[in-house]
Structure 1
């Protein structure tokens, strides 16, 4: 091209860095040196502060918006979508009603979500030979044996090679792209976290050496259509989810979600007070809804339990999160208070209805919530 314009922001309000990227600085230093005919011109400009500071604080739920909500839930939604509404209704509107997608970009450095994906994929590759079910839930014709400590030893030997393959594919098969700098640190950290997790797994197996431990499924998809009455109308809600792992110890089913980020015990529910135990009706969904609203990952774990039961007619023993950065405190098992698992599963449609009542309430607009679990993707 003959003319190229590159812009960057110096705003201190920007979520990302307020200075040129390393790539731009490299262009400035090297491009003119190797191409003397190129002329670099720097210009600075400002945008009217009123335009910068004008932010949409709420969106009314018009009939058109309600129609979009119907389409969203009929076509299929996830625990993540409803969890986004709980965290920030306005962010939910932008992400799921308007369907703003994340901008696809070429990563010069491995970002946190990509980093976590690599570890998830490597663990799936390592554990896949031991899974009793295919991704679609069908049992394998030849059933693998129970997982043994020596199987983990083999995984420890193979995990670095698999991680290198994931990183190399990400950087267009350029192994040098992660041999130095931040990408090298990302690779080293991913390798270290994977090794720590596998050692954690081996320790768990040695603790239950006389109890058969099976990998039941990996990355299994669940889909269930639920009919609930919301805002005076029967609505079909198509609920979807993927379980990172389903395992069993002594025949007791556990659904596991991996997290490479921090997790706290209060994120998976809470034990009720003595007053709750004495006064709360265990057949009432109110307390479960409260857990969903106040505990970051509770709704997601509850959804897994419900979907598994609907697919296999088996009540799982538990669902839990394994945090790679808090292995010493893992697993973070869902805390149902004074509810039995069977009761919580039976009450789930009512929990969902109560949450959807808030989403569909035409008198309450989608507004931004600034003091919840994490920052919004779109509304700030």
Structure 2
């Protein structure tokens, strides 16, 4: 309880600091449920993307899709240098994949009209503030971003549905040995 209370207190201090620094913050949505049907070439059954977006805000004319994490997340976890990386290293790119999927789902429901970013606020790394997804140091999510992401998403779904590709259990790191 005390840890959760401290997280909330520190987060509210961060929000107040943003306002004191002149940011214009408008909370648009909280805990937004998304369930979006998509069509995958070669898949003959319906596919729905689902997820709950923690927060959508507009700050200084940029819409931000925010996912809160209680663990420690740094900028490297939301940085992608090659689109193919998204499907090759789950541990490294799962956070990028998740926030891009949230942005993509919301865009499919209602296309964004102003610049958007998607990112994480890590409660164990609050000093870093909002950690935006970035592709080669570009944080704005564009139509090209969605096209590149949708190709990776479609390939992942096709791989999951392919009976010739076996499921392989992910090896978990030993918490003691590291």
Alignment TM-score, normalising by the size of structure 1: 0.41
Question: Relative to structure 1, is the Cα distance of residues 205 and 328 closer, same or farther in structure 2, using a 3 angstrom cutoff?
Answer: same
What is the 5 A alignment of 1:11-50?
none
Q: Does 1:242 align with 2:52?
A: yes
Name the SS for the 2:148 alignment partner. helix
Cα distance in 2 between the residues matched to 1:369 and 1:257? 24
Match for residue 54 of structure 1?
Answer: none
Q: Does 1:330 align with 2:129?
A: yes
Higher helix share: 1
Match for residue 312 of structure 1?
Answer: 110
Match for residue 144 of structure 2?
Answer: 343
Give the superposition deviation at 1:267. Answer: 1.4
The alignment's C-alpha RMSD in Å is 2.3
- Point out the structure with max Rg over C-alpha: 1
Higher strand share: 2
Give the superposition deviation at 1:338. Answer: 7.4
Q: Does 1:266 align with 2:76?
A: yes
Cα distance in 2 between the residues matched to 1:212 and 1:289? 36
Q: Does 1:366 align with 2:167?
A: yes
What is the 5 A alignment of 1:294-305?
294=89, 295-305=93-103
Question: Relative to structure 1, is the Cα distance of residues 266 and 313 closer, same or farther in structure 2, using a 3 angstrom cutoff?
Answer: same
C-alpha contact (below 8 Å) 1:289/1:351 kept by paired residues? yes
Deviations 1:284-317 (A, max 9, x none): xxx3241343313011011111112112211551
Deviations 1:314-366 (A, max 9, x none): 15510110001101123111012277522111333322221122212322221
Alignment TM-score, normalising by the size of structure 2: 0.84
Question: Relative to structure 1, is the Cα distance of residues 364 and 310 closer, same or farther in structure 2, using a 3 angstrom cutoff?
Answer: closer
Cα distance in 2 between the residues matched to 1:196 and 1:292? 34
Give the superposition deviation at 1:194. Answer: 0.8
C-alpha contact (below 8 Å) 1:241/1:304 kept by paired residues? yes
Q: Does 1:215 align with 2:20?
A: no
User: Structure 1 runs of 4+ off > 6 angstroms?
Assistant: none
What is the 5 A alignment of 1:59-138?
none
C-alpha contact (below 8 Å) 1:229/1:235 kept by paired residues? no
Gaps of 5+ in 1: 1-186, 273-286, 376-380
Cα distance in 1 between the residues matched to 2:50 and 2:84? 19
Match for residue 116 of structure 1?
Answer: none
Cα distance in 1 between the residues matched to 2:62 and 2:143? 14
